[in-house]
Structure 1
Amino acid sequence: MTDTPAAGKAPSLTPRKVLHGSGCDAQWCIRTLAQARAALRDVVPSLVTLVRSVPDANTAGVGTWTVGDVAAHLSHVFRFDTDAVAGRPVPDAMVTMAGMAEANATMLAEDGERDPAVLADRIGTLANKFDDVASRSRAATVDWLQGARLPPSAVACHLLEECLIHGHDIATATGRPWPIQRHHALLAVEGAALPLIAALPPTAFLNQEKAGSFRARFELRLRGGGRTVLNFDGGSLTLDAAGTRDVDAHISADPPALMLVFIGRQAIWKPLLGGKLAAWGRRPWKLAHMLTAISPP
């Protein structure tokens, strides 16, 4: 992949632009897509090297998946995100934890390849294809999973998020380092997670059994980024602009730590003790309940 801008340049993201799903400011989306492509060009070579270095594809990865399963899954994400940006059909899947588990299981069952070297080559090739398709995209929005309409920037940032998270999974399983840069994680959160929350049904990101009676509002302040309000209301999660109403607690978060905590890869206590996360306000204890209620697909 080519056209990498100056290394280490932090993105200039504004969460208010994504509060209404596909209603994304055109210039913001164009800029964010360019930043996501640049971030992928930073991350993918390290990801390919990491996958190629896996000594045993049958090593336990995350959940019930082996490391080989994780790498194969990543290649599937590259394919369907590329198809989305290209305007081609994407898998028929419900974007909930159960729905995505079923869709991912089907794709893994249909793809028997688990050789790390082959999958590393596949990911590298697919990454180049994605960058080429994304560089030519002029669509304001595209069809994604479950009929969600997303700007191409959100699809690119989703792909970046998958690379960061599953790179972390493979590195953890094989005892290798996987540093996540703040501006990459910021793109993943502000460029993908927030637009997905806004575009999908308000139940998609929640465990309904644990979130059904939970009501709370949290102002999320991303270090190096912007602010938005997470509104939990009886089994639904929506976004509001910061400062619209009183909140139960404020959360200041380093983006890599927030991403790993929200996706269930790290307990909250380590980043709290290390200063990567902080919470204060009238009801900061509600943060613990929030983390049990959230169930990212």
Structure 2
Amino acid sequence: MIPAATPSGARAPDTMAQARAALRDVVPSLVALVRSVPDANTASVGAWTVGDVAAHLSHVFRFDTDAVAGGPVPEATVTTAGMAEVNAKMLAEDGERDLAVLADRINALADEFDDVASRSRAATVGWLQGARLPPSAVACHLLEECLIHGHDIATATGRPWPIQRHHALLAIEGAALPLIAALPPTAFLDQEKAGTFRARFELRLRGGGRTLLVFDRGSLTLDAGSARDVDAHVSADPPALMLLFIGRQGMWKPLLEGKLATWGRRPWKLARMLTVISPP
């Protein structure tokens, strides 16, 4: 990642402190949203109901807390199929779908996570598939899950779920990019669609830094090299990009709203890139 410029002598931001503050902002709204839904069987995302989404969120809080504490985490292959399998297993083992109970569970787990995170001094901790991550990346992953699944529940029930730019920026720069760097280069791609795709994109996050994404026949890596030889430059508002990459919205709406822009030698490759991305 190419970090955003900072004034000479400025202290590097404390990503863990920022993530904890963001979670303290987001979790009360998430808990209230879960509690406000009258029917846990309301269809949400894919085959999941709102009750399934809320239960899944509690599972993520549990294993991310365990990770930051240095404890064991579920065995999982971090691909779309691998995570679908482990998520289905955890949902099958947890029969709770009462939304009031799940809201209380998420709230209690959030307090536990904040306490554990406040005491973490490890440089890295073990995460899924043996990845080693800074504890701040685990906190930002938890934030990303809250933002995305809050969006899922709100969309399913016709409720608002505004995502703040700095929260989405933390989710992307603090979690998604470190995960791409730490996991196998095949983890975030649909291998059938990505097998012949080659491209380099300079991603400019509004309010954040710049990152070079390199797609090379089934692999995705980050590159600290020059942005002069890229196929396209992409400027994006973080909330729009997060929803786009996770498959919650298409490309045209953010383009028309000015929340996404692309230019360069081969800007049309962005559309193909979105078909090969397959976040776990």
Q: TM-score range by the shorter chain?
A: over 0.9
Listed one character per residue, the Cα deviations across residues 222-244 of structure 1 (whole Å, up to 9, x for unaligned) are 00000010000010000012635
The gaps in structure 2 that reach 5 residues or longer are 4-10
User: Take 1:279 and 1:100, find their aligned partners in 2: how far apart are those partners?
Assistant: 31
User: Take 2:244 and 2:174, find their aligned partners in 1: how far apart are those partners?
Assistant: 18
Instruction: Give the TM-score, by structure 2 length.
Output: 0.96
User: Take 2:100 and 2:161, find their aligned partners in 1: how far apart are those partners?
Assistant: 19
- Structure 1 window deviating more from structure 2 (237-246 vs 190-199): it is 237-246
Matched, 1:105 2:88: yes
User: Take 1:80 and 1:265, find their aligned partners in 2: how far apart are those partners?
Assistant: 24
| Matched-pair identity in % | 85
2:236 to 253, 258, 261: 253
Q: CA RMSD in A?
A: 1.1
User: 1:62 aligns to what SS in structure 2?
Assistant: coil
Paired letter, 2:78: V
Corresponding residue number in structure 2 for 1:115: 98
Matched, 1:207 2:190: yes
Matched, 1:95 2:78: yes
Corresponding residue number in structure 2 for 1:197: 180
Paired letter, 2:222: L
Q: Is the 8 A contact 1:217 1:231 kept in 2?
A: yes
Paired letter, 2:234: I
User: Take 1:90 and 1:296, find their aligned partners in 2: how far apart are those partners?
Assistant: 19
User: Take 2:159 and 2:111, find their aligned partners in 1: how far apart are those partners?
Assistant: 25
Instruction: Give the TM-score, by structure 1 length.
Output: 0.90
Corresponding residue number in structure 2 for 1:3: none
Q: Where do 1:45-194 residues align within 5 Å? A: 45-194=28-177
2:252 to 263, 269, 277: 269
User: Take 2:146 and 2:225, find their aligned partners in 1: how far apart are those partners?
Assistant: 29
Runs of 4+ deviating beyond 3 Å: none
Distance 1:141 1:16, change over 3 A: farther
Paired letter, 1:239: L
Matched, 1:282 2:268: no
Q: Is the 8 A contact 2:202 2:227 kept in 1?
A: no
